């Protein structure tokens, strides 16, 4: 008898959690707000259940009330609105010679950002510097530790979530345990591959895409496959390493030891090396320098080959992101026409598109994993 009662109580608690999650998800998606009556109608829940669970969300500071605008007479209904500013998370993108921190609210809107010039080191002192920078920007924005949900870190290389390790050719490390990072950070921590994070963010923010191949083009070239809004990791966790797709078997040698990898031809270093390691300077100088224009044209030739291969193999839209996205914008329509011209199937759907998040994608995506876990939606 006691066991049956205990099981019934557990089942009721699980049902309440499920209902709360559904209400939270609905409110999160309805940015302009929704009435309690609409919540009852759309989720098929009783008035007592909705009143109780919305009250709990108010106690947790996740919602607020607002009067709806109404042209006719009568009682003005109260809208329940999600409070995106209630909690803040940090997305950190680790690069070879710098790291970037973005503070984001629950809607992934950027609250503040900072870039710190610091060469990567597989050391405790490096991560202490990252933590100190996070604390500085948190305190600068007057965000209490109670409102701070956690830290999402993106790294340029494969991440083994089970063993809590990552490796990176770009950072010159074979295997690094991020247990040390967890010990230093005093908040919940997620570590994710930068392209996985960026691709996840693109799909999350998209209204019309559930599947995509995301190609990240920065100093390193990587990518991820998103299927039904989830990251495809592959059997060994190396899915989406598009930078090591061979596009010239007799080509230049890659850092991985092989020849002709896409990374060798489409890393942004291929361009910035001609302008004091500055992409801005390269594209500014290109306006009056025919040699730099030729380098850019040659760069696009290889990028077209890579994107075309992905489009044929995956039959998903290819999203081009990373640092190159903003510079590709001017030439993108012509670039897209060439990709579509290379399509052997002449598909009517869009073959490729530019990232909506640009260089912020990896940091936003890493933070978004924390946010998704927090909201449990």
pLDDT digits (tens, 9 = 90+) for 40-95: 999 999 999 999 999 999 999 999 998 877 655 567 788 999 999 999 999 999 99
pLDDT digits (tens, 9 = 90+) for 320-335: 999 999 999 999 999 9
CATH number at residue 31: 1.10.10.10
Distances (CA, A) of 180 to 84, 128, 363: 31, 10, 20
| 220 within domain boundaries | yes
CATH number at residue 101: 3.30.420.40
**Residues 174 and 42 both lie in one domain:** no
**Residues 97 and 214 both lie in one domain:** no
User: Is residue 209 scored above 50 in pLDDT?
Assistant: yes
pTM: 0.83
Among 42, 64, 82, give the residue marking a domain's end. 82
| 78 within domain boundaries | yes
Pairing of strands 212-217, 318-321: parallel
| 179 within domain boundaries | yes
Distances (CA, A) of 254 to 105, 247, 283, 305, 344: 39, 12, 25, 17, 29
**Residues 39 and 128 both lie in one domain:** no
| 176 within domain boundaries | yes
Number of domains in the chain: 3
Edge-to-edge order in the sheet of strand 159-160: 159-160, 165-168, 173-177
Among 60, 82, 104, give the residue marking a domain's end. 82
**Containing structural domain, residue 124:** 88-197+362-375
**Residues 126 and 22 both lie in one domain:** no
Dihedral pair phi/psi, residue 262, rounded to 5°? -55, -35
User: Is residue 5 scored above 50 in pLDDT?
Assistant: no
**Residues 98 and 51 both lie in one domain:** no
Q: What band does 372 get if pLDDT is binned at 50, 70 and 90?
A: confident
Edge-to-edge order in the sheet of strand 189-193: 110-117, 98-104, 88-94, 148-155, 189-193
| 41 within domain boundaries | yes
Look at residue 191 in the predicted model and tell me its pLDDT: 95
Instruction: Output the CA angle 77-81-85, nearest 5 degrees.
Output: 150
d(CA 110, CA 173): 31
**Residues 64 and 15 both lie in one domain:** yes
* Neighbour tally for 122: CB within 10 Å: 15
Look at residue 6 in the predicted model and tell me its pLDDT: 47
Average pLDDT of the segment spanning 15-42: 91
Q: Both tokens of residue 22?
A: 């559904």
| 322 within domain boundaries | yes
Q: Give the helix ranges, DSSP H, for the chain.
A: 2-29, 36-43, 47-59, 124-140, 179-184, 194-205, 262-266, 269-272, 279-286, 290-314, 324-328, 332-342, 361-375
**Residues 78 and 116 both lie in one domain:** no
| 202 within domain boundaries | no
**Residues 211 and 351 both lie in one domain:** yes
| 343 within domain boundaries | yes
Look at residue 265 in the predicted model and tell me its pLDDT: 96
pLDDT digits (tens, 9 = 90+) for 174-198: 899 988 899 999 899 999 999 999 9
Look at residue 74 in the predicted model and tell me its pLDDT: 63
């Amino acid at each position: 008898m006691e066991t049956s009662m205990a099981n019934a109580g557990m089942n009721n608690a699980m049902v309440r959690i499920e209902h709360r999650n559904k209400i939270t998800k609905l409110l999160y998606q309805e940015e302009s707000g929704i009435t309690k009556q609409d919540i009852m109608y759309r989720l098929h829940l009783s008035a007592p259940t909705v009143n109780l669970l919305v009250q709990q969300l108010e106690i947790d500071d996740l919602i607020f009330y607002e009067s709806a605008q109404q042209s006719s007479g009568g009682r003005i209904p109260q809208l329940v609105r999600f409070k995106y500013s209630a909690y803040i998370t940090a997305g950190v993108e680790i690069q070879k010679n710098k790291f970037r921190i973005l503070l984001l609210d629950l809607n992934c809107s950027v609250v503040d950002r900072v870039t710190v010039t610091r060469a990567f080191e597989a050391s405790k002192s490096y991560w202490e510097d990252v933590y100190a920078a996070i604390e500085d920007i948190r305190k600068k924005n007057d965000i209490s530790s109670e409102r701070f949900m956690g830290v999402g870190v993106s790294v340029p290389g494969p991440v083994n979530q089970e063993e809590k390790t990552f490796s990176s050719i770009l950072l010159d490390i074979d295997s690094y345990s991020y247990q040390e990072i967890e010990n230093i950070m005093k908040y919940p921590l997620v570590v994710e591959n930068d392209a996985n994070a960026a691709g996840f963010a693109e799909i999350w923010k998209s209204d019309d895409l559930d599947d995509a191949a995301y190609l990240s083009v920065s100093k390193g070239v990587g990518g991820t496959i998103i299927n039904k809004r989830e990251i495809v990791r592959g059997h060994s966790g190396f899915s989406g390493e598009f930078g090591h797709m061979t596009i010239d078997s007799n080509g230049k040698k890659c850092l991985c030891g092989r020849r002709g990898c896409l990374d060798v031809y489409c890393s942004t270093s291929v361009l910035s090396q001609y302008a004091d390691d500055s992409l801005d300077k390269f594209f500014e100088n290109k306006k009056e320098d025919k040699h730099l224009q030729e380098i850019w044209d040659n760069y696009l030739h290889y990028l077209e080959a890579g994107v075309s291969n992905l489009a044929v193999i995956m039959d998903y839209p290819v999203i081009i992101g990373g640092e190159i996205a903003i510079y590709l914008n001017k030439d993108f329509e012509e670039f897209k026409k060439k990709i579509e011209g290379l399509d052997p199937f002449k598909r009517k759907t869009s073959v490729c598109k530019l990232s909506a998040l640009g260089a912020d994608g990896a940091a936003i995506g890493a933070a978004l994993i924390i946010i998704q876990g927090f909201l449990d939606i």
